[in-house]
Amino acid sequence: MRFLLNLSFRYKVPLWGSLLIVATAAIISSTLLLRSYEELKSDLLRDATGQGRTMATTLFPAILHDQVWRAYEIIKAPFGRESGDSPGQAEAFVVLDRRWQVYVSTDPESLPMLADFRRLAPEYAALAEIIAQPGSETRLLEPDGSEHLFMATPIREEQAHLGTLVQIYSKKVLHSRFLKSAEQAALIALLVTVLLLPLGWYWGQRTAVPLVRLTERMEELGRRLPDDLAPELYDYQDELGRLYRAYNRTLQELREKEQIERQMIHSERLAAIGKLTAGIAHEINNPLLGMLTALDTLRRHGELSPRTLKTLTLLERGLLQIKETVGALLVEAKVKSRDLAPQDVEDVRTLIEPQAREQGVSLRWDNRLEAPLPLPSSSVRQVLINLLLNAVQASAPGGEVSVAITAASATLSMVVVNGGQVLTEMQTAHLFEPFANADAHGHGLGLWVCYQIVRQLGGDIAVESEAHDGAGRTAFKVAIPLGTPR
């Protein structure tokens, strides 16, 4: 039994449904059969009672005048009118006198005249004891272990009691009729079962399979966020359908929560890196400025040979390169600057177009700014230049870089799209970190500077990279609220 209970709902629900259908069909069939048997007995009792009373009334004068042959004709007459397989047809009739002797019978061989009825068979002795009990009505008697039913009708008129008419019915005839009814009931039950079993199995599967799918998805929650459940798998409004929709809503909320957590972790990591790099840059700048000052003093006031001057020049060039790299780490967006004007954006286009042509990349420009915006022009220009340079470098010859700049809902929106290679998850996760994308074209600080400026202006910068029409499509989206304190 426990094995059945441990089965998957995929099998348990249809199996239990099928068993329930079979059990219900069996119970209904058994009930109908019992009712049919009782109706047969009731019909037999009704017919036999009428027949017995009629015959007892007719037999009374024949027995009273000791007309044995007349009594025999009376009890023999029904056999000429009814078929032998009818449950209303008696197997034999016997008339008993008051001393339990056979007065006359339709079967003289087994029930001879003047024989003691009680000694002819054990069932007759039991029957005689039942008949002897008080009662004047016709009774249907069924002694234990007997293969016959007996109908006993007293032969009396007013206070004169002459004997008893016993109608003997074989149970075999009754059983044959019952078996015919049983065959019909079994056939009907079989047809109903054949029709209902596929329907029950289908509906069981229709209910169980969604539960199985839901269980499989729930088991995956501890390891990863599983896929949504297809609505068409169970598109109903009952409890299971509501559970499906609740699961999908929960999954969506978990995905949003996970995305927020990733963004928070990413922002915190970049903020920590920003503080660390700024601290390192300041620590480097102090001795660096001293070294550059010492070199300048030595060059102005010292008497140096050509070889020494050449060495000092190399040292100064190297220190200046270090200064430029360190200066790139010190991003400060909230400096004094005039408001951003539409012409500032067009100037960026003028600066970028020569490099785009050199790379064989076309530039599609959509600048919808119509009036100055309360944002520092130098910082916004720097963000746009860095994004465009990065997009041009990432594009293959013959590719295209598109730019869309709009101002709506108190927000400046800049979208830069290139058709370069699709970024991997690892690249996306560390895209805005310093030196993460260093290559032969630069030291990898451009996107870092963009991130720092945008965040300092209270905005957001995000990247989307995916395959599109058989090629890569990477879009950088910047949103900066207008009126940021500067």
Domain range spanning residue 453?
Answer: 334-481
340 and 317 in one domain? no
312 and 355 in one domain? no
What average pLDDT does the chain have?
80
Inside any domain, residue 464: yes
At how many degrees (to 10) do helices 377-394 and 446-456 cross? 150
Give 418's strand partners.
Answer: 401, 474
Q: Which of 61-75, 80-94, 272-286, 320-334 has the lowest mean pLDDT?
A: 320-334
- Residue 333 is predicted with a pLDDT of 45
Question: Binning pLDDT at 50, 70 and 90, where does residue 101 land?
Answer: very high
Q: Pick 415 or 266 by higher pLDDT.
A: 415
Q: Pick 237 or 413 by higher pLDDT.
A: 413
- Residue 136 is predicted with a pLDDT of 58
Inside any domain, residue 195: no
pLDDT in tens, 9-40: 666 667 767 777 777 778 877 887 777 777 77
346 and 282 in one domain? no
305-313 contacts: CB < 8 A, separation 24 or more?
none
CATH number where 384 lies = 3.30.565.10
Question: Binning pLDDT at 50, 70 and 90, where does residue 477 land?
Answer: very high
307 and 352 in one domain? no
Strands 362-367 and 339-340: unpaired
pLDDT for residue 266 is more than 70: no
Inside any domain, residue 196: no
Number of domains observed in the structure of the chain: 3
Distance of CA 343 to the CA centre of its chain: 58
339 and 275 in one domain? no
Inside any domain, residue 230: no
* Helices and strands counted in the chain (H then E): 12, 12
- Residue 94 is predicted with a pLDDT of 93
pLDDT for residue 85 is more than 60: no
Last residue of a domain, one of 301, 327, 353: 327
Last residue of a domain, one of 160, 179, 198: 179
pLDDT for residue 486 is more than 60: no
- Residue 105 is predicted with a pLDDT of 92
Pair of tokens at residue 202: 């289908």
367 and 273 in one domain? no
Q: Pick 199 or 368 by higher pLDDT.
A: 368
pLDDT in tens, 429-438: 778 777 666 5
370 and 311 in one domain? no
* CA 206 – CA 227 distance, rounded (Å): 20
pLDDT for residue 474 is more than 80: yes
Q: Determine contact, residues 162/98, Cβ cutoff 8 Å.
A: yes
Average pLDDT estimate for 333-350: 79
CATH number where 56 lies = 3.30.450.20
382 and 320 in one domain? no
360 and 401 in one domain? yes
pLDDT in tens, 418-468: 988 888 888 887 787 776 665 545 556 778 788 888 888 889 999 998 887
Inside any domain, residue 217: no
96 and 48 in one domain? yes
Average pLDDT estimate for 49-77: 88
Q: Determine contact, residues 116/101, Cβ cutoff 8 Å.
A: yes
Inside any domain, residue 160: yes
163 and 34 in one domain? yes
* CA 33 – CA 25 distance, rounded (Å): 12
* CA 354 – CA 359 distance, rounded (Å): 9
User: What order do you get walking across the sheet with 139-141 strand by strand?
Assistant: 102-105, 92-97, 160-170, 148-157, 139-141
- Residue 238 is predicted with a pLDDT of 75
Inside any domain, residue 185: no
pLDDT for residue 403 is more than 90: yes
455 and 414 in one domain? yes
pLDDT in tens, 200-255: 777 676 777 777 777 777 777 777 778 777 777 767 777 777 877 888 888 888 88
Last residue of a domain, one of 327, 350, 380: 327
List, in order, residues 6 or more apart from 167 with CB less than 8 Å away: 48, 51, 52, 90, 93, 150, 151, 152, 153
Distances (CA, A) of 79 to 39, 107, 112, 294: 23, 12, 19, 147
Inside any domain, residue 190: no
Secondary structure (3-state) at 472: strand
